[in-house]
Each structure stands twice: as structure tokens, then as C-alpha cells.
């Protein structure tokens, strides 16, 4: 059962009117490709459905409980005058409440739950009470204006480079829009609009000229514009972006502030105007959120110069700064991108929030360009760098997702800075929304996840049924059921990994060309795969019951990194389909860092339904490197490698782990 989305974008409404033969005076700019909403896609597969259900029944309730136990909710109560005491924790802790509300809203959209809805209504009522009369909403100051939380600044907006006032606001907007769309209730949306109107009155070319230290409000303002039609919100998002690299009016950080050790401007992508930036630098979460906001402003505002800018930045990341897992952010000290090819393994930061942000960004790049290479990056990040951020049980999390460990890594139930658990709660329910997309005469199949979708397309409803055991198996069956014969192009993504290209750059490559190629059939008859922008183009008049079958070979593949990646010279990684694999000590006699994978080694995939909620493991004969200091006559010992999908590591106690293993 699903609930209809109450807010219909103006431009999409115009398309519907024109399809029905009704005129529409003007259609505002928008993404040329539109995603099919997750509410129109019912996932029922063995891989994603359990994870989405775990998020619904475990992660969301767990996170809501932790928000209470850690006084995040109490801080709002203090700001509302309903509790005594001092504000506790970080100045941005309110966002953990907002993100979990957003996740709850997405869950409610497809799975009504009166008790969960009641809990959210109570939180919304508290948030509204914590909002000041003019729309200001920031518990870190309102709770005690004379003694705001550390880093908040002495007055409103006085330290925007670190106060997170605008970052908090962005998450309010995203959560409020989600809850309005899920329930039709306007109370939280009213809070968001009241706050956004305050920002519009406060900031602008002839008002306060400043920008947020942590990007996010730009994404929220774009969603609020799409929901309300108020263009001033989109213009304010663009203003905040355009102010970066052009100076700010806020106070400098005090020397005793931890952030003072960094060069603040590159750290928060304010070293140059955004249109002049060519290299991804600084805090990776901030960057991915900014690039996402730039895409929204470009598409919804009609600013092609923004597209050119994020095209350059995307190439920089994918060619020089992307981990094999799709993670971004190499440096632990600053949670930031490193230099070109700086991709250490054990010290990799690769924050879960950055992986989620990378998915957000790559989805929008696809919607702008209709190119499968962006979905290739999105899929890699989804199955590896993002999914590793939450335990299979749903109540423990990784903040960092390194590609090697000496045994000291373990997921935690919560963090002082708990942005990552909140991001997981809102991300997982939305995964079905990444499967399909459409434009005027084409329907895209981007991800291979078993589901049934009801897609409004060209004036009728098309039911699409996708059957697959992906990512364990490469066979995909897609059945189409239009209401009547319909002529359009079905665009089926052929993943880059199935075309001997791990990522759409030279950053990684397979050691050998695959022996088999993808096979495509329509109604049982083979068809030639006509690739355009990574998609097989199937143009015809489709009738109810037409079936498309895709077979993607899934051999075990060896991956090498670009020679400039110092950390991976002389090393090799293993993949199968979209999954990156790793070796854990518990499966390999306690040691993995001495494993050597000879070029002649052969591997096989084997089902293990009893392990880690069911996986396909990789097994092969490898060697053990001679101990350090061994003589020239030392011989490598033979041994068996047992590798598991990277997302599933760290579930069986502490121990060594490595993605990249020695090659010689």
C-alpha cells in the first residue's frame, strides 16, 4: 500500500496537461530526465527488501530512541520552554532529529504506521514550539541566547562558516517536504516555509552577503521551491552558492576553535567562486552536498554554466579521487579529499555521509545528461561504500569505511556526531527511486532490483515487473504491461563492469578482458545491443506481456588501480558484478595482509546462504608472502582465500580486513 505524493512539481503538471491536450502557458526549467518516484516502485527482492524492512522496523525506531536518550529531543524542548536545563551536545544535533523524521516520512509513504506517524506528529509539534516568532529555528541558540552552544557564534548568523544554522535549516526543509508528501499534513511544512521566508528577508545581494560553512540548505531550498513554487527559495540557493569564494561578513574563527587548524576556505569549498572550481577539495560531505545543490540550481533555474562546473568536478573525482568502493574523502584529519591519486586504504576516511552524498550527486548528474556512467558510479557507491555504513541488524554504524584494517574497527551504535545513522534512515527507503527514470519518449531501467512498478508515462500507466536475483546473479527479466500499445524507447543500462570498465575513467581497470558479453532478448529472440550513453536502445511499439531478458556475465574479476595510486601499487582487488570483495581474518586463519594473489590464481563464486544473511563468497587458491627477513630461497606457502562482499565485513568480531591484496 502506498500514499500518493501530494506536492506535484509545476513543470510535471504542465507535461500532464499537455499530454491530455490542454495548453500550459509556460513550463519552468527542470531536469530533462525525471526519476520514477520510489512510491511507485514496490521492491520484493531477496537483497534490498530485507534491508529496507530492517531500516523500517529497527533503524528508524532505534535512531528515534537514541535522539531521546542523547537529549537531542530534549534540546528542542528546552528551546520550546517545555524543559529546564542547558543545551547539550553539538550545535548541529537538531539535524539528527530532522533526518530521522525524513526517513520516517519515506517509510510512511509506502508503509502506513499510525504509531510512527503519531511520534513524528509529536516531534513536529515540539519543533514548531521551538521556532521563534520570526521563523528562526536553532535550538543551540534559542535554548539560552546568552550562552549559545560552542561554535554557534555570539549572535544570529555571526559565525556562519561553522555555526551550522543554515545546514540545520536545509535538513528542516528536506524533512518537512518529505512529511508533507507522505501525509498531506502541513504543520511541518509551515515551519519550513516560515524559516525559509526569514532567510529570504535576511540574505541577498542587497542584504546580508554570506554563505553557510556546511552546504545543505541549497538542496533543501530547491526541494521547498519545487513543493511550493516560490522561486525566491531557488534564487536564495543560487545566492548562497555564488557567494562562495567572494568573501563573507561573518566573524573569523577564534584561534582556540578546533576548525582554526584548517585552511577554512578550501575545507568548505569557498576558496574560489563555484563556477571556477575545477578540483574537488576539502570536506567530502560538504563538497558532495554542494555539487548536488549546484545540479538542482542548474536544472530548476536554467543555469547551464553550473552544469559545466559540476561536469569538471565530477571528472576530477572519478578520474583521480574515487575509491573502488565508490567512497570519497581520503584524509582522516579533515574528512576531506586528498591530492590526485591520494587514496590510502587503512586511513581512508570515506565517511558514510559522503557516500550517500555521492549517490545524491550522481543521480542528478544522470538526470542532467541521461548517461549511464553516472549510474555506474551510483551503483558502485550504493552496493559498497554506502551499504557498509550500517550493520545487517540495522542498529550499528560505521562513520568511516576504510578499505583495510588491522583489527581495530567495529561498528558503533551511535556517535557524538551522529550524522551517518540519520542519513542511513532517510537513504535506504528511497533506494527504489533510483531504479527507473523517464523522459518524453524513453523509459530508463537503471538498477536491477526485483520489483513491480506502476509508472505514469505518455498519458497511461505502464506496469513494469522486474525479476532478478541481482547482485548475486546477472539474469534479469523485465515484463511490460502498458494499458494499450505504446511506442517508446526502453533504455536498459548495461553496467560498465559488464563492459570491462570498472569505473568510467582510467582510475581502475580489470586485468583481463571478459570472455563473455551481455546478452539481450525480446520475447525470447536475441537482439543486437545498440549502445548509446551506456544504454541498450530498444525502440518499438510495446504491448502488454512483452518480455525483455538481459544476461550479464558475472565472473570473478581482478582489478588494478592506476599506477599513480601509491597505496595500491603491486596490489589487486576482487570484484563480482557490482560488488567489491574483501578478505577478513576470521575466514583466513586470522591474517590477510600477507595474502598474495598470483596472476594465475583461479577463483570461483559459491553460495553461502548460512553466512551474513546470505552471500555469494569468492574462493580461490592463493599464496602467503614469505615472512619479512626471510632468505632468498624462501618459498611462498599455498593457501585458500575466502572473500566476502565488502559491505558485510566487521560483523563477526574484530580482525584484519583488506580489499587490496598483494599481487606478487
441-496: pLDDT as tens digits: 999 999 999 999 999 999 999 999 999 999 999 999 999 999 999 999 999 999 99
* Other Cβ atoms within 10 Å of 555 Cβ, number: 16
Which of the residues 353, 419, 420, 582 is marked catalytic?
419
Flag whether pLDDT at 257 surpasses 70. no
Q: How far apart are CA 17 and CA 21, in angstroms?
A: 6
Which of the residues 165, 335, 351, 623 is marked catalytic?
335
Judge contact between 657 and 405, C-beta under 8 A.
Answer: yes
Flag whether pLDDT at 497 surpasses 80. yes
Nearest to 656 by CA among 600, 575, 598, 583: 583
The pLDDT confidence band at residue 626, using thresholds 50, 70 and 90, is confident
Per the model's pLDDT, the better-predicted residue between 253 and 181 turns out to be 181
Q: How far apart are CA 233 and CA 254, in angstroms?
A: 32
Compute the average pLDDT of residues 592-616. 96
Q: How far apart are CA 239 and CA 367, in angstroms?
A: 23
Which pLDDT belongs to residue 246? Answer: 83
Nearest to 42 by CA among 432, 428, 425: 432
Mean pLDDT of the chain: 93
Which pLDDT belongs to residue 495? Answer: 98
Which pLDDT belongs to residue 632? Answer: 63
Q: How far apart are CA 492 and CA 538, in angstroms?
A: 8
Model confidence pLDDT, tens digit, residues 40-62: 999 999 999 999 999 999 999 99
Which pLDDT belongs to residue 372? Answer: 98
Model confidence pLDDT, tens digit, residues 172-182: 999 999 999 99
* Other Cβ atoms within 10 Å of 145 Cβ, number: 12
Compute the average pLDDT of residues 582-595. 96
Secondary structure (3-state) at 240: helix
Mark whether 419 is an active-site residue.
yes
Compute the average pLDDT of residues 633-648. 88
User: CA distances (Å), 326 to each of 292, 352, 575, in order?
Assistant: 16, 11, 13
Q: How far apart are CA 423 and CA 414, in angstroms?
A: 13
Which pLDDT belongs to residue 664? Answer: 86
Task: Annotate 318-340 with b (16+ C-beta within 10 A) or e (fewer).
Answer: bbbbbbbbbbbbbbeebbbbbee
The pLDDT confidence band at residue 360, using thresholds 50, 70 and 90, is very high
Model confidence pLDDT, tens digit, residues 4-38: 333 333 333 333 333 333 334 467 899 999 999 99
Whether the bond into 471 is cis, omega within 30 of 0:
yes
Q: Is the pTM of this model over 0.85?
A: yes
Compute the average pLDDT of residues 516-533. 96
Which pLDDT belongs to residue 263? Answer: 59
Secondary structure (3-state) at 226: helix
Q: How far apart are CA 538 and CA 530, in angstroms?
A: 8
Mark whether 456 is an active-site residue.
no
Cell numbers at 436, concatenated: 527507473
Nearest to 224 by CA among 144, 135, 338, 116: 135
* Other Cβ atoms within 10 Å of 205 Cβ, number: 9
Compute the average pLDDT of residues 204-218. 95
Flag whether pLDDT at 573 surpasses 90. yes
β-bridge pairing 615-624 and 657-658: unpaired
Which pLDDT belongs to residue 636? Answer: 72
- For Cα atoms 590, 591, 592, give the angle at the middle one, nearest 5 degrees: 130
Model confidence pLDDT, tens digit, residues 294-318: 999 999 999 999 999 999 999 999 9
Domains and CATH numbers, the chain: 1-30 (no CATH), 70-243 (no CATH), 438-551 (2.60.420), 564-662 (no CATH)
Amino acid at each position: 500500500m502506498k500514499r500518493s505524493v501530494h506536492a506535484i512539481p509545476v513543470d510535471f503538471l504542465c507535461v500532464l496537461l499537455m499530454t491530455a491536450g490542454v495548453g500550459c502557458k509556460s513550463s519552468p526549467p527542470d531536469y530533462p530526465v525525471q526519476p520514477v518516484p520510489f512510491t511507485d516502485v514496490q521492491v520484493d527482492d531477496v537483497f534490498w527488501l530485507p534491508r529496507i524492512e530492517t531500516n523500517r522496523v529497527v533503524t528508524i525506531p532505534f535512531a528515534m530512541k537514541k535522539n531521546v536518550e542523547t537529549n537531542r529531543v530534549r534540546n528542542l524542548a528546552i528551546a520550546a520552554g517545555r524543559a529546564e536545563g542547558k543545551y547539550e551536545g553539538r550545535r548541529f544535533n537538531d539535524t539528527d532529529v530532522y533526518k530521522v523524521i525524513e526517513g520516517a516520512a519515506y517509510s510512511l509513504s509506502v508503509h502506513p504506521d499510525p504509531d510512527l506517524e503519531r511520534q513524528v506528529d509529536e516531534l513536529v509539534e515540539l519543533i514548531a514550539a521551538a521556532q521563534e516568532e520570526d521563523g528562526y529555528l536553532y535550538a543551540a541558540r534559542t535554548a539560552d541566547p546568552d550562552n549559545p552552544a560552542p561554535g554557534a557564534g555570539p549572535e544570529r548568523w555571526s559565525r556562519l562558516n561553522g555555526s551550522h544554522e543554515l545546514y540545520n535549516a536545509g535538513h528542516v526543509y528536506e524533512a518537512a517536504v518529505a512529511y508533507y508528501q507522505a501525509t498531506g499534513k502541513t504543520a511541518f511544512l509551515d515551519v519550513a516555509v516560515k524559516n525559509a521566508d526569514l532567510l529570504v528577508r535576511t540574505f541577498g545581494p542587497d542584504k546580508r552577503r554570506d554563505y553557510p560553512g556546511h552546504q545543505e540548505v541549497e538542496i533543501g531550498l530547491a526541494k521547498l521551491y519545487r513543493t511550493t513554487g516560490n522561486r525566491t527559495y531557488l534564487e536564495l540557493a543560487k545566492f548562497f552558492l555564488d557567494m562562495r569564494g567572494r568573501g563573507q561578513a561573518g566573524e573569523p574563527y577564534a584561534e582556540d576553535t578546533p576548525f582554526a587548524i584548517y585552511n577554512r576556505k578550501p575545507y568548505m569549498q569557498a576558496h574560489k567562486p563555484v563556477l571556477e572550481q575545477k578540483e574537488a577539495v576539502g570536506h567530502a560531505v560538504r563538497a558532495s552536498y554542494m555539487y548536488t545543490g549546484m545540479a538542482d540550481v542548474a536544472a530548476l533555474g536554467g543555469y547551464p554554466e553550473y552544469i559545466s562546473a559540476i561536469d569538471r568536478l565530477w571528472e576530477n573525482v572519478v578520474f583521480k579521487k574515487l575509491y573502488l568502493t565508490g567512497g570519497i574523502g581520503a584524509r582522516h584529519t579533515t574528512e576531506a579529499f586528498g591530492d590526485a591519486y591520494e587514496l590510502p586504504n587503512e586511513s581512508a576516511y570515506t565517511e558514510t555521509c559522503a557516500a550517500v552524498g555521492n549517490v545524491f550527486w550522481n543521480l542528478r548528474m544522470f538526470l542532467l545528461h541521461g548517461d549511464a556512467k553516472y549510474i555506474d558510479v551510483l551503483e558502485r557507491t550504493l552496493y559498497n561504500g554506502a551499504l557498509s555504513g550500517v550493520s545487517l541488524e540495522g542498529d550499528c554504524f560505521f562513520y568511516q569505511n576504510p578499505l583495510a584494517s588491522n583489527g581495530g574497527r567495529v561498528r558503533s551504535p551511535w556517535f557524538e556526531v551522529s550524522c551517518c545513522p540519520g542519513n542511513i534512515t532517510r537513504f535506504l527507503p528511497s533506494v527504489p527511486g533510483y531504479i527507473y527514470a523517464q523522459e518524453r519518449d524513453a523509459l530508463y531501467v537503471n538498477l536491477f532490483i526485483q520489483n513491480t512498478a506502476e509508472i505514469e508515462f505518455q498519458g497511461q500507466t505502464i506496469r513494469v515487473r522486474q525479476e532478478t536475483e541481482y547482485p548475486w546473479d546477472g539474469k534479469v527479466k523485465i515484463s511490460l504491461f502498458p494499458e494499450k500499445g505504446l511506442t517508446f524507447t526502453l533504455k536498459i543500462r548495461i553496467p560498465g563492469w559488464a563492459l570491462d570498465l570498472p569505473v568510467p575513467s582510467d582510475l581502475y581497470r580489470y586485468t583481463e578482458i571478459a570472455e563473455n558479453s551481455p546478452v539481450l532478448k525480446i520475447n525470447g529472440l536475441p537482439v543486437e545491443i545498440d549502445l548509446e550513453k551506456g544504454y541498450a536502445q530498444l525502440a518499438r511499439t510495446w504491448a502488454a506481456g512483452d518480455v525483455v531478458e538481459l544476461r550479464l556475465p558475472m565472473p570473478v574479476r581482478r582489478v588494478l588501480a592506476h599506477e599513480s595510486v601509491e597505496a595500491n601499487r603491486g596490489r589487486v582487488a576482487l570484484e563480482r558484478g557490482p560488488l567489491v570483495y574483501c578478505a577478513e581474518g576470521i575466514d583466513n586463519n586470522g591474517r590477510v595482509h600477507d595474502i598474495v594473489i598470483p596472476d594465475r590464481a583461479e577463483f570461483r563464486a559459491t553460495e553461502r546462504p548460512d553466512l551474513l544473511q546470505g552471500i555469494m563468497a569468492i574462493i580461490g587458491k592463493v599464496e602467503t608472502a614469505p615472512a619479512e627477513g626471510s632468505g632468498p630461497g624462501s618459498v611462498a606457502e599455498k593457501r585458500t582465500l575466502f572473500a566476502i562482499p565488502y559491505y558485510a565485513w566487521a560483523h563477526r568480531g574484530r580482525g584484519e580486513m583488506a580489499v587490496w591484496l598483494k599481487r606478487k
